[in-house]
Structure formats: C-alpha cells, structure tokens
Amino acid sequence: MVPSVEIALRRAGLDYFDYLLLGARNEVPTDDYLEVFEQLRDRGKVRFFSLSTHNRPLLKEFLTTSQQGQNASAYDMFMLRYNAAHRGAEQDVFPFVPNQPRPAILAYTATRGGHLLDAQKMPPRRSPTIGSRLLSICTFKSE
C-alpha cells in the first residue's frame, strides 16, 4: 500500500493526503492496515485514517471499542450510508458516536443519488426540501 500512496501523491502533485480511506469494508481490517497507516502518518504522507462501510454493526463495534481505548481509536473518520430514505444509522450508529472531536462521521449518498432533490423520486410524504437540508448537514460530526 505504501508504494501506491507515494505514486498517487506524485501524480496529484501533493506532499501528503489529508485522509487515507479504506473503502467498502465489511469486516474489521487486520492490524497490518493500521501499521501501514502509522508508517505513512509518521513519514508525513497521510494525516488521518478513515474507513467506509455499509456494515452498520461494524461501525457500532468500532465506535464502542474506540471509547474503550482499543485499536478502533486509530480511525479519524467513518463513512456510512445515511439519508432520508436510509435512516438506519440513527439507531445503529449515531447513538454510539463518542462525545469527542473524533471520529468524524461522514454520510455518503446524502441525496440518494440525487433522488432526494427530485420531487418525483422522493419517498412518500417527503419533499425535496428535506433532501436539500440533509445535504447541507450531511457531515454529522466533524473536528
């Protein structure tokens, strides 16, 4: 992974990335990922580590273990699906977000692929205004 990050930095003309994202994870990443991230962070190539998943129980596990000071606290941001049509995170994830600056929680598909901004594609009894408001607050928690 280190050579891939260094190549991407050169191509982008950057000295470092703010976030390194482990995408589409449905299981707990091995400690090897954390070790590589720590190497990249120590070398100044990456500032923050993040994980993206559809697996809400996995996020709950990360959030509860981070409160206990275990390895999950190495993550600075978690990305999850959340919007007016997919609200499961309100019960499965948000109650477990610690009251501290990190980890940040970032919603992807906040407008459900634009459907929440189109009145004809909205869930029953919802208006596009709700989608517009959600888009403006799609970052639930940030540093």
Give the model's pLDDT for residue 43. Answer: 95
Q: pLDDT digits over 33-56, tens only?
A: 888 988 999 999 999 998 888 888
CATH architecture of 2-141: Alpha-Beta Barrel (3.20)
Whole-angstrom distance, CA of residue 61 vs CA of residue 39: 25
Q: Are strands 46-52 and 17-22 parallel, antiparallel or unpaired?
A: parallel
Give mean pLDDT, residues 116-140: 61
Q: pLDDT digits over 97-115, tens only?
A: 877 777 888 888 777 777 7
| 58 closest CA partner among 84, 102, 89 | 89
